[in-house]
Structure 1
């Protein structure tokens, strides 16, 4: 049970929570959102594993795969 709880907390932390230290500066010629300077991102986004912040509902609906 402890392993499952630890994996759940890891998933929540890495996929659903943005972190100020990981934000990306949007200033520059490619900035398509005037008035917005920073893009917030999760650790999974910073690692290139996903392109969006997941909701808890999306995480609950996702079927995990096992590494063999």
Structure 2
């Protein structure tokens, strides 16, 4: 999921937003107004989340 998440983030059709609180960082990726993926980084833990069928957003332009 890490590589696919990076591909979603680098796609010019998508925008992203980063929220940082002390030891927790949340990066959200949007396609238009729709949240399609999220990465939560807390201390040494990194978790990735994607919507169902997120693969269709990988190559959308």
Provide TM-score, normalisation by structure 2. 0.29
Higher helix share: 1
Higher normalized strand content (fraction of residues): 2
Larger radius of gyration: 1
